[in-house]
């Protein structure tokens, strides 16, 4: 925690800030280990100043916080009440420590919340200050993501045994959730299980589907595991029965492109160049472009930084974890996507953490 705090204070110094008010629940967990039950209710806040760390919560959690060992050993817990609001607490600390400029998370604090604060203290917007620090994982975070990936591999191995004609996509998704929970983990998001023309939609909503698997279906499964709050993400394709040669050929082309994109990480560190390489590889093979990023960071959230897209400013480096997931989509026909979770190591070397086989799966 000391290292994280120092990184934050270094950024505060660069931005000429006297304090940083943290409202994003993921960032609060990252810094304190605290999790409430309803983050949308603003159950907690953190204020970091040049010398102190303050944690704010209400009566529902104050005893819990005091009894638990949070990550911030020097955390000062403050009770938020109707008579002493978070705004009042921050105002009092600002006066005591002479905080002239307090940064806030512009991507999280609502406008109405900002309006209430600005009457009492001088708030300055910051953009992804902690999120950018979260791009770099420590060994504990990496170990948890690796375990999430291992569970995902085991779950997919078992789920593959039940895929058959007549089952609904939703049946398979629910089975995946059950298998994840059997491993004392939880689904990072509701699994995407889609087939045939539905697989041509990158973010298909399986919850609303009643579609059944057919004799010659193309089945796309995209899901993630959350283990001790850290996520994995994987996508694999399963072919039911005999497929047209065209589909098998396209899949083999996509697989080679996905593998070559991963291998390209050794020589390309700019995320946007990885994205460009992947898309140009599709074009060279006469295949259509895809309407999503080539990859995304993963950690406490399924989608975080770095972003691997044409507009990304991120550089890929050691201890970042992200996905590589090119897709090929033919509207009203079928779609294919292959996704792995990747760990960047020293000297631009990479480790594929999701190890479920990618060769053609015929059922």
Taking residues 35-40, report their average pLDDT: 86
Asked if the peptide bond before residue 302 counts as cis, ω within 30 degrees of 0, the response is: no
pLDDT > 80? residue 303: yes
pTM of the model: 0.95
Residue 141 has pLDDT above 60, yes or no: yes
2-134: CATH number: 3.40.350.10
Q: How many of the other CB atoms lie within 10 Å of CB of 318?
A: 13
Tokens of 258: 């996905």
Cα–Cα distance measured from residue 137 to residue 320, given in angstroms and rounded to the nearest whole number: 6
Residue 362 binned pLDDT confidence (cut-offs 50, 70, 90): confident
Reported as a pLDDT band with limits 50, 70 and 90, residue 16 is very high
Please state, in angstroms and rounded to a whole number, the distance separating the CA atoms of residues 148 and 155: 10
Residues of the chain with CATH 3.40.350.10: 2-134
**Above pLDDT 70, what percent of the chain?**
98
- Residue 207's φ and ψ, nearest 5 degrees, are -55, -35
Indicate whether 70 pLDDT > 90.
no
Average pLDDT over residues 139-150: 98
Q: What is the pLDDT of residue 69?
A: 62
- Structure confidence at residue 74 (pLDDT): 65
The CATH classification number of 139-352 equals 3.90.230.10
Give tens-digit pLDDT for 283-294: 999 999 999 999
> What confidence score (pLDDT) does residue 71 get?
60
Handedness of CA 354, 357, 362, 363 (dihedral sign): negative
Helix residue spans in 70-128 (DSSP H): 86-97, 111-118
CATH code 3.90.230.10 region(s) in the chain: 139-352
- Confidence at residue 3, expressed as pLDDT on a 0 to 100 scale: 83
Q: Which residues contact 21 (CB under 8 A, 6 or more apart)?
A: 45, 46, 47, 90, 102, 103, 104, 105, 109, 117, 123
Q: How far apart are CA 327 and CA 117, in angstroms?
A: 45
* pLDDT tens by residue, 239-269: 999 999 999 999 999 999 999 999 999 999 9
Burial string for 165-177 (b: 16+ CB within 10 Å, else e) reads eebbbbebbbbbb
- Please tell me the predicted confidence (pLDDT) of residue 68: 67
The average confidence (pLDDT) of the chain is 95
């Amino acid at each position: 925690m000391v290292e994280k705090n120092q990184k934050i204070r270094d950024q505060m110094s660069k931005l000429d800030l006297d304090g940083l008010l943290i409202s994003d629940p993921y960032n609060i967990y990252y810094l304190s280990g605290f999790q409430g039950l309803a983050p949308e209710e603003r159950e907690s806040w953190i204020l970091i100043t040049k010398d102190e760390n303050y944690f704010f919560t209400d009566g529902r959690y104050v005893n819990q916080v005091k009894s638990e060992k949070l990550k911030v050993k020097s955390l000062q817990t403050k009770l938020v009440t109707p008579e002493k609001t978070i705004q009042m607490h921050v105002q009092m600390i600002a006066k005591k420590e002479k905080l002239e400029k307090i940064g806030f998370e512009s991507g999280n604090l609502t406008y109405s919340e900002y309006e209430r604060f600005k009457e009492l203290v001088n708030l300055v917007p910051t953009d992804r200050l902690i999120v950018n620090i979260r791009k770099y994982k420590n060994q504990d975070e990496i170990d948890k993501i690796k375990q999430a990936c291992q569970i995902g591999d085991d779950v997919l191995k078992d789920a593959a045994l039940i895929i058959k004609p007549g089952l609904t996509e939703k049946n398979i998704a629910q089975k995946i959730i059950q298998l994840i929970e059997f491993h004392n983990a939880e689904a990072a998001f509701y699994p995407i299980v889609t087939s045939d023309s539905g697989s041509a939609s990158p973010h298909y909503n399986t919850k609303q589907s009643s579609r059944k698997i057919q004799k010659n279906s193309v089945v796309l499964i995209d899901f993630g595991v959350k283990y001790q709050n850290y996520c994995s993400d994987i996508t694999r394709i399963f072919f039911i029965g005999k497929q047209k040669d065209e589909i098998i050929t396209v899949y083999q082309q996509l697989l080679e492109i996905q593998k070559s994109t991963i291998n390209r990480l050794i020589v390309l560190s700019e995320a946007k160049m990885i994205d460009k390489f992947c898309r140009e590889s599709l074009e060279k093979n006469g295949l259509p472009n895809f309407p999503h990023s080539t990859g995304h960071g993963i950690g406490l959230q399924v989608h975080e930084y770095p972003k691997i897209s044409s507009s990304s400013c991120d550089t890929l480096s050691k201890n970042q974890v992200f996905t590589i997931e090119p897709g090929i989509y033919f509207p009203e026909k079928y779609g294919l996507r292959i996704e792995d979770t990747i760990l960047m190591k020293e000297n631009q070397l990479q480790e594929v953490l999701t190890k479920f086989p990618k060769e053609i799966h015929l059922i």
